[in-house]
Amino acid sequence: MSEIDQKLLEHFRNPRNVGIIENADGYARVENPVNGYTTDMYLQIENGQIRDIKFKTLGCTVTIASASALTDIVKGKTLGEVVNSSDSFNKLLELLQGELGDIPEKNWHCPPTAIQTLLIAICEYYRKNSDEKTVKKIEKTINEIEYYFEKKLDQMDKIYD
C-alpha cells in the first residue's frame, strides 16, 4: 500500500466543490491548530437541506482532499442527517476516512479540521435563524473536536519529550 491512498490523491488532484457562495446561509473559517492552514466553507441551505457547499483552503494534500471529500459527502443531505447524531463528529470522521482511504498518521489533524469548519458553518446558519437549542448542541460537538485536538497534541508532546 502506498503512503497516500489513491482515493485521497484523486480528491487532491481534482477537488470537488471549490469556490465561494455569495450571500451564504452559513460560513466558517477555521485555522488548523497544528499547522496553521485555513479552510473556509460556505453553505446554501434550502428547506433544511444542504443544496450547495463550497470550500477554499490554503493547505496540504490531505487538507484539500479532506475538504473536498467532506463537501461531497454532505451535499444534498439534510442538516439533521449531518448533525442530529449523538456522535456526529465520529460519524463524519468515519465517513470521511471511508471516502479518502488511508490517511498518513502525520496528517491526523486534517480531516477533523474540515469537519470542524463544516459544523461551525452549520452553527452559524442556525444562529442566523435564532435556533439556540441546535446551536448549543452543535457547539458541544465542536468542543469535542477541540478536545480531540488537545488530547492528540498532548500525546504527541509525551512522545517527543
Q: In this predicted structure, what is the pLDDT of residue 159?
A: 60
Domains and CATH numbers, the chain: 6-160 (3.90.1010.10)
| DSSP H stretches of helix in the chain | 6-13, 61-74, 79-83, 88-100, 110-128, 132-160
Cell of 105: 498518521
Cell of 46: 434550502
pLDDT digits (tens, 9 = 90+) for 83-141: 987 788 999 999 999 999 988 888 888 899 999 999 999 999 999 999 999 999 999 99
